[in-house]
Amino acid sequence: MPGRLVLVRHAKAEREGPSDAQRALAPRGRVDAVAIGRWLTSHGIAPDRVVLSPTLRTRETWQLTGIDTPPVYLDERIYDNTIEDLLAVVRDTPPDVRTLLAVGHNPSMGSLASLWAPQLSEFRTGAVAVFELDDWSSAGRLTMSATPRG
């Protein structure tokens, strides 16, 4: 059964925080996160499953999209920030999920996006890439991308 993977790089974060994991969104990031939500909604993207890095900035990015979703899962592998870990998260998606949305960090988000779509070599904060997959272990085909700004 084909699926859709939505990769979202967290919105712009403050440069400093109590720790890297506790860096909050910058004011511009807060505005951009709302714009990400509007873009997703306007393109009919409603995830069945959302997986986030456990950092404050990824959680704030998702919360500010305003999209009502099923339960959100935090996965340390996304914070580990390797393409292999990100692909493992995708492969571990239950087969009944039709749209998986993951919010994470570069370099893994940008690396995976550019692996499947070389034109996405610059994956800025707040970038979104939508891929169609034959199954959760196959490579994706880019269907749309954007960097929504508020």
**Tokens 């990824």 sit at which residue?**
58
Give me the mean pLDDT over the 68-95 stretch. Answer: 93
CATH number 3.40.50.1240 is the correct assignment for the domain at 3-146: yes
- For the stretch 84-118, pLDDT in tens is 999 999 999 999 999 999 999 999 999 999 999 99
Nearest partner of 110 among 98, 97, 95, 121, judged by Cα: 121
Q: Specify which residues 121 forms β-bridges with.
A: none
- For the stretch 1-29, pLDDT in tens is 679 999 999 999 999 999 999 999 999 99
pLDDT score at 68: 87
CA 63/CA 41 separation, integer angstroms: 14
pLDDT score at 94: 94
Straight-line distance from the first to the last Cα atom of the chain, in angstroms, rounded to the nearest whole number: 35
